[in-house]
Structure 1
Amino acid sequence: MKFASLPDRRAALDPDGPAVSDGLQALTNAQLLNRVRAAAHHLRDLGIGPGDVVALKLTNRVEFVLLLFAAWRLGATVTPVNPSMTDGEVARQLVDSGARLLVVEDGTEAVAGLVTLAVGGLREQAPGWDEAPQPDPSALALLIYTSGTTGVPKGVMLDHANIDAMVEMGRLALELGPSDRCLLILPLFHVNGIIVSVLTPLLVGASVVIAGRFDPRTFFDLVERERPTFFSAVPTIYGMLAALPDSVQPDTSSLRFGVCGAAPASADLLARFEARYGFPLVEGYGLSEGTCGSTINPVSGPRRAGTVGLPFPGQEIRIVDAAGAEVAQGLDGEVIVRGANVMRGYLGRPEETARTVIDGWLHTGDIGHLDEGGYLTLVGRSKDMIIRGGENIYPKEIEDVLTGDRSVLEAAVIGVPDEKWGEVVVAYVQPRPGVTVDPAALQKLCARHLTGYKRPTSYIVVEAIPKNAVGKIDKVALRASHTSASAGA
């Protein structure tokens, strides 16, 4: 269990070196250790011990990192809670996880029947003695709740062995070292923010800058001030940055790369972004069930735009058909993953775990294919597949065509019921700021690039396409709103 004792090792090796900051406070390695020890004693005094679950309903801030290490120091488990969730959603996660303690922002109401700690009251001074962390790779480290777009959120159980494996894979794939500096802009209630932007850089001796809420208008000011070497974001964020006025010409010389994940990005967006800002985006792919990442385009090797790259070191990827048989190179099928990063299972859901992890292989529900070089291309979710007159249609192919139009910031394609065809294709498009989308032009674009049955029957222009908590397009919500609008028409 490397991470329970990581603050100790950093403080011993470089006590005055920078560790983590958030705009309000900046901690050296020695200060990080002192604050983690203080937080651990505070948690212990509140009754937290090995196997207990600590829920963190916090915005991105240094205290999240302190409490993460403090809980692990005691052998406890952390479940991050999205601060924007409703009271009912929060209660469901707290009950399902069996949380013993909830840490909240100052001014937040306590939850009845559960010990609640306001983050401003977290102790900052440690006593003069401390117990050494007890390593246990099998101990549960994180309970990450899936975003719930396919049903009630499930608790993904990640133990310390999962995290150790994933961080080592990330270190190798991203070629990180002590001179790196990560800018965290993704939410810490998601596994990407924790693994890619906090644990991996801290393990290699690098430092972390925690940003507040993402704002495209001030993002590059932050880059110029903090001089990070990398950051991780979702395609929506890169789309907003690519759409900034031409007058925005920031100094990005400190950045080696940006990681693009959580949802597939179009090759056009990646190419336009790199050409404009002068640093590459390395697109990756993964799931919470796989402790964050399974494939990524190489940082220094050949990147193939439109693919999500090669397997992380130590992971295997296969493409299988509905019967579980491996398909030929280039053919579409379900993506399955094997490695030490694959979750222990879903909390309290052995049947769902058995359906998802079979003989060590994580069945992702994503559809894709491998090329001759082993690069993975995703074509969609099996649940998002549209079947029109017996023909299978994967929305991403159509979305990539639509986002190739310079007036379109984002596109989301769904299937809607049709008496004749079973389903037909409908496209939702969000325009770039200050630009008007012409549906007729999009119709001509699709006619040039897509065979007839794949072309949308309608193009609906909206101010914003709905997203879930981690920035992925929420097609469940989109289909529901479309059904509701159609019924009211």
Structure 2
Amino acid sequence: MNVASLPDRRAELDPHGAAVSDEHRSLTNTQLLSRVRTAARQLQDLGIGAGDVVALKLTNRVEFVVLLFAAWRLGATITPVNPSMTDVEVVRQLQDSGARLLVVEDGAAVASPGVTVLAVGGLHEGTVEPDQAPLLDPATLALLIYTSGTTGVPKGVMLDHANIDAMVGMGLRALELGPADRCLLILPLFHVNGIVVSVLTPLLAGASVVIAGRRFDPHGFFDLVERERPTFFSAVPTIYSMLAALPDDVRPDTSSLRFAVCGAAPASAELLARFEARFGFPLVEGYGLSEGTCGSTINPVGGPRRAGTVGLPFPGQEVRIVDADGSEVEPGTDGEVVVRGPNVMRGYLGRPDETARVVVDGWLHTGDVGHLDAEGYLTLVGRSKDMIIRGGENIYPKEIEDVLAGDPSVLEAAVIGVPDEKWGEVVVAYVQPSPGASVDATALKELCARSLTGYKRPTAFFVVEALAKNAVGKIDKTALRAHHAALSARS
């Protein structure tokens, strides 16, 4: 079914059943449908219709879900905006997406030239007469998810309703969800994972969703679990590491939890085993990309889980490993992971050449390196290019390098990820001064603060006489990482 009609379907089947809640309000299925209809009418009054883009710069809250369905009801597209973005980053996304409306937190000041701004507190809460049925064209663009590219310019991943419907259906089967389930949403809704895994999939199953609105707090997390009694949640390895590091006397009641999903970055088999032994519920590790509408493989909830792997393909998807020539390799042989299925994105907004390089004959080339075993379980062994994953957030060095190169004192910059116990990786920058110039690390830090979201900012700056180059004159990041590791070992 088309997820745009989920509020209508749920209100018809179970009018008084719980739908979605946060720390401020709880909506039944009927109340959710009423709020969606009212919001859709308000969006119409603001000039929003089919084909328009609505940007949501919101924290996790019920209104995000209401606006998601309200926009889809009109045939409009949602582009989520990270609330921690700088004005520079926000304006860039608004302009690239062609957004006509930006919804922000009450009191938020944001630059949005040419875009109408609506404070979330200004959403109407009354009732409206039954409106038109939701527009249900599978080819309508549903989400524009922005992800940084190796060029340093964030790209809009175009996901249509056919992509969303396919992924949600796959997730429903893979996670074995039903009406008795209850999802605790702790990941941000500006990621496709939060929208698809923690909202749309449980709602399709007839389950309910509780939204944890505040910043994740490991010390209060299990109090929330005991109070809300969820049956599952989805998180990144950094969160599980924080929870596993809680004092030994923290022994919460986790009896409501059937499982939790671990994704967005590799997790060690040791962490998974230690976590499950302590807290008594399994972690199922999965893998995917925004370009694949969130998930492509996952360890079975009810079948054999293999720690150290990211599981089997979701139902309806194909996963292959190919060599540099694009030929499929034998099980156990490393190569590039490629994915095919109805979940593969329509493409990158306004970037047909980049789309053609990434999606070839229907196969999504992930750029990740791994191998399949004889039973089809995928093991990731590396990442192509130089992407950094900090606490589940993908960071592409080129974007940061471009910012640093904007300082006249910097001739060249190289950004790498270095191991970090808490975040998995953090960002470190090496800079080579322009001839005759002196680099001021404090000025570079201030430049990054103005231009980059917090998690992208380098934690340290190293000024070097020259950056190592390879045989073709490109910066040799392999050598740079080795150099940094040697420095760290001596310190």
Cα displacement (A) at 1:144: 0.3
Whether contact under 8 Å (1:20, 1:27) holds in the other structure is yes
Amino acid at match of 2:322: V
In structure 2, C-alpha distance between the alignment counterparts of 1:64 and 1:41, rounded to whole Å: 16
Pairwise mapping of residues 11-30 of structure 1 onto structure 2 (< 5 A)? 11-30=11-30
Cα displacement (A) at 1:382: 1.1
Partner of 1:105: 105
Partner of 2:340: 338
What SS does the corresponding residue of 2:126 show, helix, strand or coil? coil
Partner of 2:419: 428
In structure 1, C-alpha distance between the alignment counterparts of 2:130 and 2:20, rounded to whole Å: 24
* 1:10 maps onto 2:15 in alignment: no
Partner of 1:274: 276
Partner of 1:379: 381
Partner of 2:79: 79
In structure 2, C-alpha distance between the alignment counterparts of 1:14 and 1:293, rounded to whole Å: 29
Amino acid at match of 2:128: P
| Segments of 4+ moved more than 3 angstroms | 147-150, 425-429, 480-489
Whether contact under 8 Å (2:53, 2:77) holds in the other structure is yes
Residues 426 and 93 (structure 1), Cα distance of their counterparts in 2 relative to 1, 3 Å cut: closer
Task: Give the count of matched residue pairs.
Answer: 416
In structure 1, C-alpha distance between the alignment counterparts of 2:25 and 2:276, rounded to whole Å: 32
In structure 2, C-alpha distance between the alignment counterparts of 1:349 and 1:259, rounded to whole Å: 32
Amino acid at match of 1:278: G
In structure 2, C-alpha distance between the alignment counterparts of 1:159 and 1:12, rounded to whole Å: 25
Partner of 1:169: 170
Pairwise mapping of residues 466-485 of structure 1 onto structure 2 (< 5 A)? 481=460, 483-484=462-463
Aligned match for 2:367, one of 362, 365, 368? 365
1:462-486 CA distance string (max 9 Å, x none): xxxxxxx999x96xx66x9464489
Cα displacement (A) at 1:426: 9.3
- What RMSD over aligned residues (CA atoms) do the two structures have, in Å? 2.6
Partner of 2:68: 68
Amino acid at match of 1:367: V
In structure 2, C-alpha distance between the alignment counterparts of 1:5 and 1:326, rounded to whole Å: 40
% identical equivalent positions: 76
Whether contact under 8 Å (2:232, 2:259) holds in the other structure is yes
Cα displacement (A) at 1:148: 4.9
Tell me the TM-score normalised to structure 2 length.
0.81
Residues 30 and 485 (structure 1), Cα distance of their counterparts in 2 relative to 1, 3 Å cut: farther
What SS does the corresponding residue of 1:15 show, helix, strand or coil? coil
Amino acid at match of 1:239: S
Partner of 1:203: 204
Structure 1 segments unaligned to the other structure (5+ residues)? 386-394, 400-411, 415-422, 433-468
In structure 1, C-alpha distance between the alignment counterparts of 2:184 and 2:278, rounded to whole Å: 20
In structure 2, C-alpha distance between the alignment counterparts of 1:481 and 1:203, rounded to whole Å: 45
In structure 2, C-alpha distance between the alignment counterparts of 1:192 and 1:470, rounded to whole Å: 20
In structure 1, C-alpha distance between the alignment counterparts of 2:103 and 2:422, rounded to whole Å: 39
Partner of 2:183: 182
Whether contact under 8 Å (1:368, 1:379) holds in the other structure is yes
Amino acid at match of 1:120: G
* 1:239 maps onto 2:231 in alignment: no
Cα displacement (A) at 1:105: 0.3
* 1:151 maps onto 2:142 in alignment: no
Residues 426 and 196 (structure 1), Cα distance of their counterparts in 2 relative to 1, 3 Å cut: closer
Tell me the TM-score normalised to structure 1 length.
0.81
In structure 2, C-alpha distance between the alignment counterparts of 1:47 and 1:141, rounded to whole Å: 18
In structure 2, C-alpha distance between the alignment counterparts of 1:426 and 1:151, rounded to whole Å: 16
In structure 2, C-alpha distance between the alignment counterparts of 1:485 and 1:188, rounded to whole Å: 40
Partner of 2:471: none
1:177-236 CA distance string (max 9 Å, x none): 000000000000000000000000001100000002110010000000000000000000
In structure 1, C-alpha distance between the alignment counterparts of 2:106 and 2:369, rounded to whole Å: 43
In structure 1, C-alpha distance between the alignment counterparts of 2:347 and 2:418, rounded to whole Å: 35
Residues 481 and 355 (structure 1), Cα distance of their counterparts in 2 relative to 1, 3 Å cut: farther
Pairwise mapping of residues 347-362 of structure 1 onto structure 2 (< 5 A)? 347-362=349-364
